[in-house]
Amino acid sequence: MSCRPSLLVLPLALACGGGNASPDDTDADTDVVRQTEAFPRCADHDPGRRPLFGDLHVHTARSLDAYLQGNRLSPADAYRFARGERLDIQPFDAEGRGTRSLQLDRPLDFAAVTDHAEFLGTLALCLDPASPAYEDRECVQVRDRPALAFVGLNAATAQDQADAQFPGLCGDAGADCLTAGLDVWEEERQATEAAYDRTEACTFTSLHAYEWSGGPTAQNLHRNVIFRNEAVPDLPVGYFDESYPEGLWSALERDCLGEAPCDVLAIPHNANLSTGLMFRTPGDGTPPLTAAEAARRAAFEPLVEIFQHKGDGECWPGSPVSDELCDFEKLPYNNLASANLGAKGEPLARDFVRDVLGEGLRYQSTLGVDPYRLGIIAGTDTHLGTPGATDEASYPGHGGAGQANREAIVGLPDGVPYNPGGLAVVWAEENSREAIFRALKRRETYGTSGPRLVLRFWGGDLAAGACEDPDLVAHADAKGVPMGGLMPGSGATFVVQAAADPGGASRAAVPLQRLQIVKGWVEDGEVRSTVIDVAGDAGTDPLDRDTCLLSGEGPTTLCGTWTDPDHDPSVPAFWYARVVEVPTCRWQRAQCLAAGITCPTQADGYEGCCDDEVPDTLQERAWSSPIWNLPEGG
């Protein structure tokens, strides 16, 4: 495949006159040749950077599973929703009209539609009466028995990696599906280009993307593939083309990185459903990584999705590196099949981000390379085509492994273990593709569990009184590095700053409870961790459980500094920040209260209101990308 620009390519900008690079912005310095737009470009360009809120995990009706669950929204519809337009959503009636409607009270700054690569052409063939596969048994099921087709066709992505292949309806070597997929990918590209605000106002950024959806024996290996600009391959590479992550990277090297100005990164997600397969760790039975393999992985995958509709992936309760706040939005499943079927199974600790960050330090000690230098984002994984729909009270269900909502909804819109998902946040100089991709590459990112919390984090030779410094950003950038960076010297003072979500039409402002720093390091060959409260009060709890109302006032901003007394520059370590809101009502409690449900209940569809195994309150939060100390080892 060749890499070609999608629709419109701006003049190649080899020099960015007047641009201000952010700290540790190696991407801007080393591969500026891959730009397709000038930088800076936006009228409100801010060298100090500002938080942009988005969703990089979105499925529309072009994803087979979403279509089979009743979604009929297009990629163009998803971008319209992200920009603030009200849309009708599933279930759809016989005339194709959505029977519910939904709207964001605050538009997103950026989004990417990430439809599954594996079935773009398959679905197109099954819906086209002129296609050679239209009367194939599996295509008839797609149209007439979607629940059966959902199980049968999706099972193809659970094939063993050595045996993965296109469904039989795709013809020899998948040729018919690959040909049909070209038109669908072109539709995706056109929708993404049309949604991008190329004026100096820079109101919205759309990023070209797709999802590679390998899941051998239902162990999740999914990656969202995000492109820097409009130069993209002719067709996405899916699990049936390349069944190993390393094969995906090779294909991206061939079809993108070898064809400037194309540039790309991949983001693993749902590691909590991978049963140990997502991350290779010492002693897990797989061959140990070599230094070259570790460096390649770190280069292709600088980020990980820590939170989404299918649960939280920060840390597993009971792991040696856990703490009391790790028991948050944990799915009681450990692979994709168990999530779909409701068959409970306990995840493995090594599938969670904190453990994986620690394993990266162990590799650093032996290889001199950290393959898991992973920045943090979150997303929704919506299968309704509704990016950024994270409000608890209006949560519509997101489909995917959750409740399908293909037909009339009776009671709650999803199984109660699932949640509305989160948001990806980047610290960027402006709302443009170039600025956002640079931020993703340098890991100056964080994830939230849904609210629009603002979180900032620096480490280095910083002043203990930095929170009171009116020029905090300039001081911190000059003396340290922001989230995602490498510790610049022997100093280990950290500054954390957070602001509450101010609220909107559908969500009142919620006070902050506490601000923390999580540290991980290797000692005697074992990963250790500790959690330090740097601001706030862990006892603050103004929630009335009977009414879901908050009483009194609480802090809307927190700032704290902490100097690590045990920092040893020769020991690999990471630190990340976590900000936590006061308790609020979880989505099922809010919706059950609004419906007048009391427990025990006989109301059909509302049984989840009385499920004692799922908490009816939660503490929303945000997690920063780490700052690392990575001395040479091996």
Mean pLDDT over 606-622 rounds to 96
Question: 3-state secondary structure string, 458-523?
Answer: EEECCCCCHHHCCCHHHHHHHHEEECCCECCCCCCEEEEEEECCCCCCCCCCCCEEEEEEEEEEEE
Mean pLDDT over 95-114 rounds to 96
Mean pLDDT over 42-68 rounds to 97
Least confident of 315-319, 325-329, 524-528: 524-528
Give residue 35's pLDDT.
86
pLDDT tens digits along 478-499: 999 999 999 998 889 999 999 9
Give residue 30's pLDDT.
47
Give residue 19's pLDDT.
33
Percent of the chain with pLDDT over 70: 94
Of 300, 371, 442, the residue nearest 634 (C-alpha): 371
Give residue 31's pLDDT.
52
CA distances from 380 to 21, 43, 112, 126, 164 (A): 30, 30, 11, 28, 27
pLDDT tens digits along 220-269: 999 999 999 999 999 999 999 999 999 999 999 999 998 889 999 999 99
Domains of the chain: 45-408+424-442 (no CATH), 451-583+619-634 (2.60.40)
Of 519, 536, 427, the residue nearest 473 (C-alpha): 427
Mean pLDDT over 579-602 rounds to 95
Per-residue pLDDT for 21 more than 70? no
Per-residue pLDDT for 10 more than 60? no
- Rounded CA separation 440/484 (Å): 9
pLDDT tens digits along 115-139: 999 999 999 999 999 999 999 999 9
Percent of the chain with pLDDT over 90: 86
CA distances from 316 to 322, 363, 384, 419 (A): 6, 21, 29, 17
Residue 3 identity (one-letter amino acid): C
Give residue 32's pLDDT.
60
Mean pLDDT over 299-306 rounds to 98
Confidence band of 3 (pLDDT split at 50, 70, 90): low
Give residue 632's pLDDT.
75
Are the CB atoms for 587 and 620 separated by under 8 Å?
no
Give residue 491's pLDDT.
87
Per-residue pLDDT for 313 more than 70? yes
Helix pair 353-367, 291-300: axis angle to 10 deg = 140
Q: 534 in helix, strand or coil?
A: strand
Confidence band of 633 (pLDDT split at 50, 70, 90): low
Give residue 23's pLDDT.
37
For residue 220 the two structure tokens come to 């999740």
pTM of the model: 0.94
Give residue 288's pLDDT.
84
Mean pLDDT over 92-112 rounds to 95
pLDDT tens digits along 170-194: 999 999 999 999 999 999 999 999 9
Instruction: Work out the mean pLDDT of the chain and round it to a whole number.
Output: 92
